[in-house]
Amino acid sequence: MFCLHALEKLISVNILAAIKTLFYNYNVPKALSTDQSNQFVAQLVIYLCVKYNVKKFFNSIYYPQGNLIAERINRAIIESFFTRKT
């Protein structure tokens, strides 16, 4: 399952709130895979994963293909903006 959620600022507190909203709306996942950005390594996000017993995985910075699905979704979103008919 994929879900998009726009954030005004990409900071840990906003990411934490978005993840909690996803947990409440779609159930708590067994695992969460993210890149190694500071926002996802933050203690708040790690605490949330521990609290809800979610395994936290980080994509390797040396293996960018690990984030392939997210990159394809991002590309599709961007393309949809440019191909939208008015």
Architecture of domain 12-83: 2-Layer Sandwich (3.30)
Return the pLDDT at 2: 60
Return the pLDDT at 33: 75
Looking up tokens 């890149």 gives 35
Q: Hey, where are the domains in the chain?
A: 12-83
Return the pLDDT at 6: 74
Residues in Cβ contact with 13 at an 8 Å cutoff, skipping those fewer than 6 apart = 44
Return the pLDDT at 53: 92
pLDDT in tens, the chain (86 residues): 666 667 788 787 888 888 888 888 888 888 877 767 766 667 877 888 899 998 887 766 666 666 677 677 777 777 777 776 65
Nearest to 22 by CA among 9, 39, 5, 40: 5
